[in-house]
Chain A
Amino acid sequence: MEVFLVNLIAATFRVSTPIVLAAIGETYSERAGILNLGIEGIMYFGAFVGFLIADKSGSLWLGLLMAILSGIVFGLLMGFFTVTLGVNQHVSGLGITLLLTGLTLFTFRLFYGGRSTPPSIPSFQTLNILQNNPILGPILSQYWLTYLTFLVIVPLAWWILYRTNFGLKIRSVGENPEAVDAAGISVPAVRYAALAIGGGLMAAGGAFLSLFQLGAFTHGIISGRGWVAIAIVIFGNWHPVRVMLGGLIFGGTFALQLRLQAMGLQLPVPYETFLALPYVVTIIALVIAGRNASYPAALLKPYRRE
């Protein structure tokens, strides 16, 4: 039982990392008033670009960097459609997801052909901390990006949003862009910046799967994690710390399912029940949070001076 719990906790942090990274990225975007449904595609493309570059160059670091860069670029493209052109955010975001899904599959086929076993690379290794301690060892032996996510990226997101002038501008632009404009700040600049940061984090979340956890790229590598991240942002009321907690809850359920499946228990229900459970939980959470969800007032609204 003890081993089970230790492994569960360890897995929870590992599984939550990509979701939390992406959800924090989405938090930046939505706080600035843009619902970025490109998240799923940006994660997918990030996972692939990271893998491709790492495979071809032999450098995991270069792979990660290029993945993040790709996320920034497509975050900015989202900005072009929703900020500059002011078209429907749902459709633009979905369009970007479809584009990046297609582009990833196209390029993957180009480089790796139609082989049946996915190519793999040596991935980033976990940090071995207190390895001999039977309880803390497995829990603390995580990837550095997991540490960075929970100890730096989440607190930093809180600090930036609530304790910097840049964050003040992001929060304001998502609530009342007219006020930001009248204060002499460029609304598009703030929104583009938030989308770029957001895109970078989403892609990093995708690359975590291919460069850390799997060391491989598979067609189903993201399989809806981006959509979960979107739900978690609402669940976390657009607050980085609460978003992180939402991510951990999701990670926990997912990890539990993995553990149970790994133990080979003969369950009375199909194992897909557990896979689907996080989605069901998220929907229930949305229903509960739905009524007191404090959506950024300008979310989904393009801003253009009269």
Chain B
Amino acid sequence: MEAKRFPYQLVKTDTPPIWMRPLIPVLILLITFLITAGLILSTRANPFQAYYYFLISPLSSQVSFLEVLVKSTPLMLTGVAVTFAFATGYYNIGAEGQLYAGAIAAAWLGIVLAGVPAAIAIPLMIIGGFLAGMAWALIPALLKVRLAVDEVVTTLLMNSIMAYIVSAILNGPWRDPTSGWPQSPEIAENTMFFKLIPRSRLHFGFIVALVGIAVLWFILTQTSFGLKMRAVGLGKPAAQFAGINVGRTTLIAALISGGIAGIAGVSEVAGIQFHLIGDLSAGYGYTGVIIATLGSLNAIGVFVASLFFGLIDTGAQTVSRAMGVPVYLGEVTQAVMLLVALGMYLLQRYRIVRRA
């Protein structure tokens, strides 16, 4: 019977050793960069040099540092959006589509609100984007709450549908009549988000994103609705037993989630592109899922994770320009980091011990 056995085993612990907790993010970073170093080597680039461009160089000048904040803006918003849903146990993978719904609204409002004072036009755009994202999130949310149709699949499919809607609009009514480019007409100047710092790309959307983080923190930790959301997310039957209306809570959280994702679309249209274009989002909705997970579904975590991902996105461009490493290194790094973090999450709950 005596077979050869792996000499170590995992033993469950309820709390990770205290000394380990601050080490975990460090370990995640180290392992992630060890793995991605392989990719950098495959391009015959020096990993150390690449990491300098990747992580240090963007922080060394004001211009590129502001660019980090610019890049983190949509991620912060989609991260907040996804967190609202995931914390309630509603797996909204549809932030991408909801973002575009908000973007369509912004591109439209940006034209019809021409001439309206910015102080009125910009709040209206944000509200419009919120409502549009919410409307797009409504269908899968209702299907989930009323008919128990799995939201993961429906929100995913809704993303594809939205991609075709955007394509239909851009190739149809909004095709640029002079250039023939599939992009909507430029939004009016008074509806563009103002710059926080002159001659940089950093715009008002960053403030909106910070407000989003604050709202997430406030609702999750300070309000009874936030506690209800968490109760539903962590134990539906128990929440229902305690008298919480699980369906309503899920629905509201799903709608807030969609709305905030919609604002991410507004921010990109009104702050960066000033048009609706087909690749407005570089998968921000999906990255939001990573950020929410890495940020352990809390506001501060989401804040830190989105800043870090903004750094990676900026750094990937720097590396690409300086060393010719494909810019997609950024996406790979983000995905690897998620997977490593998932692995680490387990290490927090288990100890490795030698078998007796």
Among A85, A90, A98, point to the contact of B152 (Cβ < 8 A).
A90
The residues in B between 108 and 162 inclusive whose CB is less than 8 angstroms from any CB of A are 139, 143, 147-150, 152-154, 156-161
Among B93, B286, B346, point to the contact of A85 (Cβ < 8 A).
B346
| Interface secondary structure of A, over-half rule | helix
Nearest neighbor of A100 in chain B, beta-carbon distance: B335
Complex Cα–Cα for A253 and B149 (A): 23
CB distance from A101 to the nearest CB of B (A): 7
The residues in A between 6 and 26 inclusive whose CB is less than 8 angstroms from any CB of B are none
| Interface secondary structure of B, over-half rule | helix
Q: Is the CB of B289 within 8 A of A91?
A: yes
Complex Cα–Cα for A290 and B140 (A): 13
Among B153, B330, B334, B342, point to the contact of A81 (Cβ < 8 A).
B342
Q: How large is the interface on A (under 10, 10 to 19, 20 to 34, 35 or more residues)?
A: 35 or more
Interface size (B, Cβ < 8 Å)?
49
**Could you count the A-B residue pairs with CB atoms below 8 Å apart for me: how many are there?**
133
Q: Is the CB of A87 within 8 A of B345?
A: yes
Task: Say yes or no: is A66 at the interface (Cβ < 8 Å to chain B).
Answer: no
Q: Which residues of B contact A287 (CB under 8 A)?
A: 143, 147, 149
Candidate in A101, A106, A273, A282 with the most chain B CB atoms within 10 angstroms: A106
Q: Provided the pairs A90-B152, A223-B160, A276-B161 are in contact, do residues A102 and B168 lie with their beta carbons within 8 angstroms?
A: no
Q: Is the CB of A102 within 8 A of B331?
A: yes
Complex Cα–Cα for A94 and B330 (A): 17
Task: Say yes or no: is B238 at the interface (Cβ < 8 Å to chain A).
Answer: no
Q: Which residues of B contact A148 (CB under 8 A)?
A: none
Q: Provided the pairs A95-B339, A98-B331 are in contact, do residues A228 and B326 lie with their beta carbons within 8 angstroms?
A: no
Q: Is the CB of A106 within 8 A of B326?
A: yes
Q: Which residues of B contact A160 (CB under 8 A)?
A: none
Among A90, A106, A272, point to the contact of B165 (Cβ < 8 A).
A272
Q: Which residues of B contact A88 (CB under 8 A)?
A: 342
Complex Cα–Cα for A113 and B252 (A): 46
CB distance from B120 to the nearest CB of A (A): 33
Interface residues of B (CB under 8 A from A): 39, 42-43, 91, 93, 139, 143, 147-150, 152-154, 156-161, 163-165, 167-168, 171-172, 283, 286-287, 289-290, 293, 326-332, 334-336, 338-339, 342-343, 345-346
Beyond A81-B342, A106-B331, 13 additional pairs, beta carbon < 8 A: A81-B339, A85-B342, A90-B93, A94-B286, A95-B290, A98-B331, A102-B330, A102-B331, A102-B335, A106-B332, A276-B165, A279-B164, A286-B153
Interface residues of A (CB under 8 A from B): 35, 37, 81, 85-88, 90-92, 94-96, 98-99, 101-103, 105-106, 109-110, 223-224, 227-228, 230-231, 234, 270, 272-273, 275-276, 279-280, 282-283, 286-287, 290-291
Can you give 8 contacting A-B residue pairs, CB < 8 Å? Answer: A87-B346, A94-B286, A98-B283, A99-B335, A102-B334, A279-B157, A287-B149, A290-B143
